[in-house]
Structure 1
Amino acid sequence: MDLPRHHTIREGDQRIVNPFTAEKLAALGRAVRLRPGDTLLDLASGRGEMLCTWARDHHISGTGVDISTVAVDMSRRRAGELGVTDRVTFVHGDAGGYVADQRVDVAACIGATWIGGGVDGTVAVLERSLRPGGMLLVGEPYWRLDPPDQETVEACHATHRDDFDDLTGLLRRFHGLGWDVVEWMLADPDSWDRYAAPQWLTIRRWLDENPDDELAGQFRAELTADPLRHVRRREFLGWGVFALLKR
């Protein structure tokens, strides 16, 4: 059980593997008013930057779960760099099937709602580990503008227009599930750029060093096409983290 090699190569040494800058991630931690001693479960925790930096800055503790062995190793190293190994734990496993041994104050899935088959299922997965009165954090794309054609839909990592809601529809979805939206932090074009553009340099350097690798053709095609696709993504696709409290 692991992520494909292509995925980990493309994201290289990026610590935040969604369209958030470090500044936005820090601002989110302040916005949701974390308190010393709070516990956090981060499902599909990526490289562990959110849990590690929040443990350092807000004196919380928690567990991250991710399917990628590379990401889990990077998370554990990051915890050591920030001096929080006594407060955070990272588990290699299926985030969609994970339930915390003890209910937590905050349960998060940031940009990986595929673990529950979409927003609805992921909210249900997170709630299994949440204490009464606790907060959910859900990161999810949404349409900023209605995509005009299928080419734009596919440039935005979607198969169909209905794969994402617009922002109004996403808020209504949360409300329909019985949750109040109490905070949010939204990506902007610059934070989209800081997520996407570093991958192009990583890919190019990797191609220069590995021209005969079995993935070279796939990466060559991606490097040619992705900057053009990104122009559409930054215009049409939004992304944000939404803080939810049970109504």
Structure 2
Amino acid sequence: MIRHLISHLAHRDHPIAAPVSDDALERLLRRARLPARARVLDLGCGEAEWIIRALELHPEATADGVDVSEAALAAAAERAAARGVADRLRLHHTTAAGHTGSEPYDLVLCVGATHAFGGLTGSLQAMRRHLGPAGRALVGEGFWETTPSPEILALLDAGPDEYADLSGTVERAERTGYATVHAHTSTRAEWDVYEWSWTGSLTDWALDHPGSDGDAALAAARDHRAVWLDGYRDVLGFVTLLLRPV
């Protein structure tokens, strides 16, 4: 099964699609202090939960969501319609790097999708091109809670410089030309809720769909759970930074 379909199935019961709680998500969006008739962009939106929440909080706002997964975008359209914001949400089936907007945005998000731009620095450079002068960027990125062992790096297929520690992650963001105005560091409980949901939702789907696709989904869930429980749990952290260009 292709990667983005696995991701869509795994996030079925956790549409935030990051180790972030409902309350933390709302706090981040409120701290963005969007103006009336704000324009919002999510690069790698998945099922668009972040921007649907933004539209619910700001009834005059409009949003664009960009993703390569047709399944995720179809789910996003259904969610937006069910929650009464579909007329203010435009969904684009394209790569995050391929999106072009005709006007600047007041808030640009890229949460858990910085791989689309080769990492945090490339993501923030791309996000800045979409931001208006007073706009804000909301970016979610991993960081090393503790120094990873060679064995854990091998499990993650990552190098030691894949991420920095928390201080270094903030420094990387600010070197790109931003100031940090707020942030949320995910707790262990948020991580556990996210990972058990990820692996459990995919396992549930696999057991309901016997056959080659179900076998592939079940294998992906078990592989992911092993890498998490035996590898990056308490090693990899996640921080969502609210940034302003300087």
Report the TM-score, using the length of structure 1 for normalisation. 0.89
User: Aligned-pair distance for 1:46?
Assistant: 1.0
- The whole-number CA distance in structure 2 between the counterparts of 1:97 and 1:187 is 30
- The residue type equivalent to 2:99 in the other structure is Y
Within the alignment, does 1:245 sit opposite 2:244 as a pair?
A: yes
Q: 1:178 matched to which residue of 2?
A: 177
Runs of 4+ in 1 over 6 A off after TM superposition: none
- The whole-number CA distance in structure 1 between the counterparts of 2:154 and 2:187 is 20
Residues 86 and 168 (structure 1), Cα distance of their counterparts in 2 relative to 1, 3 Å cut? same
- Higher mean displacement: 131-140 or 216-225: 216-225
* SS at structure 2 position matched to 1:238: strand
Percent identity between matched residues is 26
User: Aligned-pair distance for 1:53?
Assistant: 1.2
Q: 1:141 matched to which residue of 2?
A: 142
Residues 100 and 232 (structure 1), Cα distance of their counterparts in 2 relative to 1, 3 Å cut? same
- The whole-number CA distance in structure 2 between the counterparts of 1:80 and 1:124 is 32
User: Aligned-pair distance for 1:188?
Assistant: 0.8
Residues 129 and 150 (structure 1), Cα distance of their counterparts in 2 relative to 1, 3 Å cut? same
Report the TM-score, using the length of structure 2 for normalisation. 0.90
Q: 1:193 matched to which residue of 2?
A: 192
User: Aligned-pair distance for 1:214?
Assistant: 4.7
Q: 1:161 matched to which residue of 2?
A: 160
Residues 181 and 196 (structure 1), Cα distance of their counterparts in 2 relative to 1, 3 Å cut? same
1:39–1:62 Cα contact (<8 Å) kept: yes
Residues 66 and 4 (structure 1), Cα distance of their counterparts in 2 relative to 1, 3 Å cut? closer
Residues 132 and 14 (structure 1), Cα distance of their counterparts in 2 relative to 1, 3 Å cut? same
- Higher mean displacement: 157-166 or 203-212: 203-212
User: Aligned-pair distance for 1:228?
Assistant: 6.4
Q: 1:7 matched to which residue of 2?
A: 7
User: Aligned-pair distance for 1:134?
Assistant: 1.3
User: Aligned-pair distance for 1:194?
Assistant: 1.6
- The whole-number CA distance in structure 2 between the counterparts of 1:63 and 1:47 is 12
2:28–2:242 Cα contact (<8 Å) kept: no
- The whole-number CA distance in structure 2 between the counterparts of 1:98 and 1:228 is 33
Q: 1:97 matched to which residue of 2?
A: 98
User: Aligned-pair distance for 1:129?
Assistant: 1.2
Structure 1 gaps, min length 5: none
User: Aligned-pair distance for 1:63?
Assistant: 0.5
CA RMSD between the two structures? 2.1
Residues 23 and 35 (structure 1), Cα distance of their counterparts in 2 relative to 1, 3 Å cut? same
* SS at structure 1 position matched to 2:132: strand
User: Aligned-pair distance for 1:221?
Assistant: 6.5
Aligned residues: 244
- The residue type equivalent to 1:97 in the other structure is G
- The residue type equivalent to 1:5 in the other structure is L
Within the alignment, does 1:36 sit opposite 2:33 as a pair?
A: no
- The residue type equivalent to 1:140 in the other structure is E
Residues 66 and 82 (structure 1), Cα distance of their counterparts in 2 relative to 1, 3 Å cut? same
Residues 188 and 158 (structure 1), Cα distance of their counterparts in 2 relative to 1, 3 Å cut? farther
User: Aligned-pair distance for 1:3?
Assistant: 4.9
- The residue type equivalent to 1:236 in the other structure is V
- The whole-number CA distance in structure 1 between the counterparts of 2:86 and 2:202 is 32
- The residue type equivalent to 1:61 in the other structure is T
Post-superposition Cα deviations, 1:211-234, rounded to whole Å, max 9, x if no partner, equal: 431551562364266156236433
Post-superposition Cα deviations, 1:63-97, rounded to whole Å, max 9, x if no partner, equal: 11011101111111111111111211111111112
Q: 1:123 matched to which residue of 2?
A: 124
- The residue type equivalent to 1:66 in the other structure is D
Q: 2:204 matched to which residue of 1?
A: 205
Q: 2:234 matched to which residue of 1?
A: 235
2:8–2:46 Cα contact (<8 Å) kept: no
2:32–2:107 Cα contact (<8 Å) kept: no
Structure 2 gaps, min length 5: none
- The whole-number CA distance in structure 2 between the counterparts of 1:127 and 1:207 is 40
